[in-house]
């Protein structure tokens, strides 16, 4: 092919992806869609600019407009999360975690995190950002029955290991973590308390999940594209804790990045404004939809985790499909994809690590389908589609046609300045 044909092919694939995604039921718990206004910001000329440093104190000239946008963003994020400061420069949630590890710890320090098999994020682990900082990583004791950190054993571990940093939050996150119970214990031994809110930032913004800064966290790190429906990127929120602010500022720049992505930064700012206007309604509907989907899946015959706790208090629903097929999630997720239902397989706490490709679980998130206007009754329809594919063993291609027809009704991005709130029938 000519170079121009390569360009055409890339644009063709982009267009095909966008058309396909708008036809599917996307239940990936770590994804969302931006509003047209945010998409415009991300596609703006800000993408061509460098702005190392802090607004009005840059190492480059020509930043007068991006500076004003970033300062607006800092103000909006502080209002939204009632934080003393917000830093929009991290370019991902992992990048934000890197900055926290580099700013608040030294190589050889002890940290306590959630293990990946219990839902923790890879950046917290020895093979991720924490390990790259040279930290000694210990993991929270976990209670499989409550699907949460074991408070009594965790308090004992904190006192035993005397960590420099304890980390709450994770990727498999149906229930709030015991921050207010364990933060005082962390303070006893002089540890910082960090909360990775990547999955639940939008729920926190809307007042539908725990509020980590009020429960004892010193710092909140997050991505900005899951329940917080912005462009891919990161953010750090924190209380004004003296000279440690300077450590974090240094860790971000020049520590783990030079120029941040200014077009994404602008998209984050518009998303923060959207969430100040619509976030409460959006977060409330996300949680309603998650509970409705969990209950509907249970009624359709699926083994939904967390029944005793009401299945979920977040955007996530966790299903154990090990009773349906020996390859469990490794079988179910690709089959559902054939039917136009997109989600991911996931290790459950009782799975051995060697089952990473055939784990027991499916992780389901409803935040994107909520944003395009789906309500509780629509979750019941999704549960029926899933039952037909995985339990009734219908031809997934037959189901796909009905999925596409169903999804065609939901093409606007609500909870935004562009389309407002969805109308209930």
Domain housing 54: 37-274
For residue 20, is it within any domain? no
Q: How far apart are CA 127 and CA 125, in angstroms?
A: 5
Same domain membership, residue 184 and residue 93: yes
Last residue in a domain, options 207, 240, 274: 274
Neighbours of 127 (CB within 10 A): 11
Residues of the chain short of pLDDT 50, as ranges, are none
Same domain membership, residue 315 and residue 167: no
Could you read off the pLDDT of 91-143 as tens digits, one per residue? 999 999 999 999 999 999 999 999 998 999 999 999 999 999 999 999 999 99
The CA dihedral of 175, 216, 83, 231, to the nearest 10 degrees, is -30
For residue 222, is it within any domain? yes
- Identify the H or E element spanning 409: none
Same domain membership, residue 51 and residue 145: yes
Query: Cis omega before residue 328 (within 30°)?
Result: no
Same domain membership, residue 219 and residue 304: no
Same domain membership, residue 122 and residue 94: yes
Q: How far apart are CA 30 and CA 24, in angstroms?
A: 16
Same domain membership, residue 150 and residue 207: yes
Could you read off the pLDDT of 78-93 as tens digits, one per residue? 999 999 999 999 999 9
Same domain membership, residue 308 and residue 259: no
pLDDT of residue 59: 93
pLDDT of residue 241: 67
Structure tokens at 198: 């990547």
Can you give the CATH number for the domain in which 335 is found? 3.90.1150.10
pLDDT of residue 302: 98
For residue 75, is it within any domain? yes
Same domain membership, residue 125 and residue 75: yes
Helix, coil or strand: residue 240? coil
pLDDT of residue 425: 52
Same domain membership, residue 293 and residue 256: no
Same domain membership, residue 184 and residue 136: yes
**Nearest Cα to 186, choosing from 210, 204, 168, 199?**
168
pLDDT of residue 244: 79
Same domain membership, residue 44 and residue 30: no
For residue 2, is it within any domain? no
For residue 416, is it within any domain? no
For residue 109, is it within any domain? yes
Angle between helices 396-407 and 376-390 (to 10 degrees): 170
**Residues ≥6 apart with Cβ < 8 Å to 88:** 70, 73, 74, 77, 233, 235, 260, 265, 268, 269
Could you read off the pLDDT of 383-406 as tens digits, one per residue? 999 999 999 999 999 999 999 999
Last residue in a domain, options 274, 304, 333: 274
Can you give the CATH number for the domain in which 222 is found? 3.40.640.10
For residue 412, is it within any domain? no
Residue 136 in contact with residue 108, Cβ under 8 Å?
A: yes
| Overall pTM surpassing 0.85 (yes/no) | yes
Same domain membership, residue 223 and residue 166: yes
Domain count, the chain: 2
For residue 257, is it within any domain? yes
Structure tokens at 295: 């209950």
């Amino acid at each position: 092919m000519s170079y121009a044909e390569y360009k055409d092919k890339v644009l063709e694939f982009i267009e095909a992806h966008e058309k396909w995604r708008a036809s599917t039921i996307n239940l990936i718990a770590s994804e969302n869609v931006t509003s047209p206004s945010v998409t415009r910001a991300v596609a703006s000329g800000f993408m061509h600019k460098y702005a190392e440093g802090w607004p009005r104190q840059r190492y480059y000239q020509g930043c007068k407009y991006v500076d004003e946008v970033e300062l607006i963003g800092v103000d909006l994020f502080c209002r939204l999360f009632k934080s003393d400061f917000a830093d929009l420069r991290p370019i991902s949630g992992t990048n934000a975690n890197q900055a926290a590890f580099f700013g608040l710890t030294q190589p050889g320090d002890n940290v306590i995190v959630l293990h990946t098999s219990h839902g923790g994020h890879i950046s917290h682990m020895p093979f991720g950002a924490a390990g790259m900082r040279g930290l000694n990583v210990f993991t929270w004791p976990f209670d499989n029955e409550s699907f949460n950190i074991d408070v009594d054993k965790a308090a004992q571990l904190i006192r035993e290991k005397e960590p420099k940093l304890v980390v709450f939050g994770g990727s498999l996150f149906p229930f709030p973590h015991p921050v207010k119970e364990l933060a005082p214990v962390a303070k006893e031994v002089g540890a910082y308390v960090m909360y990775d809110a990547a999955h639940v930032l939008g729920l926190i913004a809307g007042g539908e999940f725990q509020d980590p800064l009020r429960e004892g966290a010193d710092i909140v790190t997050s991505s900005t594209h899951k329940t917080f429906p912005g462009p891919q990127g990161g953010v750090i929120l924190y209380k004004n804790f003296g000279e440690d602010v300077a450590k974090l500022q240094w860790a971000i720049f020049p520590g783990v990045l030079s120029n941040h992505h200014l077009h994404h930064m602008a998209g984050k700012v518009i998303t923060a404004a959207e969430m100040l206007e619509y976030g409460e309604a959006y977060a409330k509907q996300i949680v309603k939809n998650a509970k409705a989907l969990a209950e509907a899946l249970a009624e359709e015959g699926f083994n939904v985790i967390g029944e005793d706790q009401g299945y979920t208090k977040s955007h996530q629903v966790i299903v154990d499909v090990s009773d349906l097929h020996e390859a469990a999630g490794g079988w179910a997720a690709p089959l559902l994809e054939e039917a136009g239902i997109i989600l991911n397989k996931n290790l459950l706490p009782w799975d051995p690590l060697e089952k990473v490709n055939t784990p027991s679980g499916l992780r389901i998130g409803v935040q994107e389908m909520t944003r395009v206007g789906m309500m509780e009754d629509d979750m019941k329809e999704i549960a029926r589609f899933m039952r037909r594919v995985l339990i009734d063993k219908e031809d997934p291609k037959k189901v796909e046609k009905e999925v596409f027809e169903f999804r065609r009704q939901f093409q606007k991005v609500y909870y935004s300045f562009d389309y407002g709130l969805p109308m209930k029938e």
